[in-house]
Amino acid sequence: MDETPEPELPANLKFLRLLVTVLTGTMIVGLLVIITLIVIRFRDKSTDFPDAITLPDGTQAQAFTQTKRWYAVVTGEDHILVFSRETGKLVQDIEITAE
């Protein structure tokens, strides 16, 4: 049997093939790092929500945010109600005025 040898690739094509292979590996490693960070972040149980929040009568919550010392509720009436995390009592009522 007569075997025909494979033609040798030009040097710049070999370099391009190497670059594509390295880029593919880098993208796979980057994707795995991103997935790992997302999983670690969502497993973090440090965000404890209060068991119950007592809002003033007729107030409807629109948004919620929190820190280690307080949490806040944004109402539909353009107020921010800030509560103490330790006592659960209303600390401050901030009225938002839009101009």
pLDDT for 17-62, tens place per residue?
Answer: 999 999 999 999 999 999 999 988 888 666 677 777 888 888 899 9
d(C-alpha 9, C-alpha 91), whole Å: 74
What is the residue-averaged pLDDT of the chain?
87
Q: Do 78 and 96 meet the contact criterion of CB atoms below 8 Å apart?
A: yes
Q: How far is the first Cα of the chain from the last one, in angstroms, to the nearest whole number?
A: 88
**Structural domain that includes position 54:** 47-99
88 domain-assigned: yes
Q: Alpha helices, DSSP H only, in the chain? A: 11-43
Q: Does residue 16 sit in the same domain as residue 35?
A: yes
What confidence score (pLDDT) does residue 47 get? 63
Report the predicted TM-score, pTM, of the whole model to 2 decimal places. Answer: 0.53
3-state secondary structure of 80: strand
Domain check: are 38 and 75 in the same one? no
Cα–Cα distances (Å) from 21 to 7, 13, 18, 32, 86, in that order, read: 21, 12, 5, 17, 55
